[in-house]
Amino acid sequence: MAKSKLLNVNGKRVPVRYDDPQMPLLYALRNDLGLHGPRFGCGLGQCGACTVHIDGKAVRSCQTQIATVEPKQKIVTLEGLASGEKLHPLQQAFIDEQAAQCGYCINGMVMQAADLLAKNKKPTDADIKNALANNLCRCGTHVRIVRAVKRAAAA
């Protein structure tokens, strides 16, 4: 039997339906809610492309079962990171540094880095690299991504 529940996504209460309580949150976000920020990369929690924030913490939405997400938990995706028209400093910094090639991994980079900056306002290069060590980029945009995170930290 299909179940439904309300989620709090990007500040809005939204209904999602699912047949399988084990369905990852990623599929509700992408298919029910039509969001493009969180991306399917591996479904194994290995690449980070699906990263979203739950209550301010970066989590892998491909490893988060829909049944475990509480209606009161605040889910933020890349689409919800900006404050109104004003981009999040990381989004702006990635644009300023032209820190993308294909850009498929970039959602994860931004969401993971936002988690880092919330905890560490002035990260060193090593801090940034360690924080992003489990986010994979195949295009080789790493040097720009590190520069962008530093730029955002300084903003």
Partner 1 sequence: MNIQISRRDALLGSGALVVSFSLAGALDQGLAQTAPKPVTLTAVDSFLAIDKSGTVTIYSGKVDLGTGVYTALQQIAADELDVPMSRIEMIQGDTLLTPDQGKTWASITIQVGGMQLRQAAAAARTALIDDAAKRLGVPTAQLTVTDGVISGGGKKVTYTELIGGKSFSIKLDPKQPVKEKDPKDYKLVGNPVARLDIPAKLTGKFTYMQDFRIPGMLHGRVVRPPAIGAKLESVDEGSIKDVPGIVKVVRDGDFLGVIAANEWAAIRGARELKATWSTAETLPDQAKLWDYVRATKVVKDEVTSNVGNTAEAMGKDGAKTLQATYDFAIHTHGSIGPSCAVAEFKNGKLTSWSASQATHALRGQLAQMFALPPENVRCIYVDGAGCYGRNGHEDAAADAALLAKAVGKPVRVQWSRADEHGWDPKGPPTLIDLRAAMDAAGNVTAWESEFFIPQAGPGGLDVPLTAATLAGLPQQPVPFPGNIFQDSAIPYKFANVKTVCHRLETTPFRPSWIRTPGRMQNTYANESFVDELAAAAGMDPLDFRLKYLDPSDKRGIELLQRLAQLANWQKRPSPQSEVSGNVAKGRGMSYVKYELVRTYIGVVAEVDVDRLSGEIRVPKFYVVHDCGQIINPDGLKNQIEGCVVQTVSRTLIEELKFNRSQVTSLDWESYPILKFPQVPEIIIDLIDRPTEKPWGAGEPAASVIPSAISNAVFDATSVRLRSIPFTPAKVKAAMQGS
Q: Which residues contribute to the site for partner 1 (CB under 8 A)?
A: 2, 18-20, 23-24, 27, 30-31, 35-37, 39-44, 46-47, 49, 77-79, 82, 87, 91, 94-95, 98, 100-107, 110, 126, 128-130, 132-146
Identify any residues that bridge with 51 across adjacent strands, giving them in sequence order: 60
Residue 37 or 59: the one with the smaller Cβ distance to partner 1 is 37
CB of 92 to partner 1, least distance (A): 8
CB neighbours of residue 150 within 10 Å: 19
Contact call for residues 1 and 49 (beta carbons, < 8 A): no
Residue 72 or 140: the one with the smaller Cβ distance to partner 1 is 140
Residue 103 or 115: the one with the smaller Cβ distance to partner 1 is 103
CB of 148 to partner 1, least distance (A): 10
CA distance 58 to 3: 26
Phi, psi of 9 (to 5 degrees): -120, 120
CB of 55 to partner 1, least distance (A): 20
Residue 8 or 94: the one with the smaller Cβ distance to partner 1 is 94
Identify any residues that bridge with 90 across adjacent strands, giving them in sequence order: none
User: What is the rounded radius of gyration, in angstroms, for the C-alpha atoms of the chain?
Assistant: 15
Q: Where are the alpha helices (DSSP H) in 72-141?
A: 89-96, 106-119, 125-131
CB of 19 to partner 1, least distance (A): 4
Residue 43 or 74: the one with the smaller Cβ distance to partner 1 is 43
Length of the chain: 155
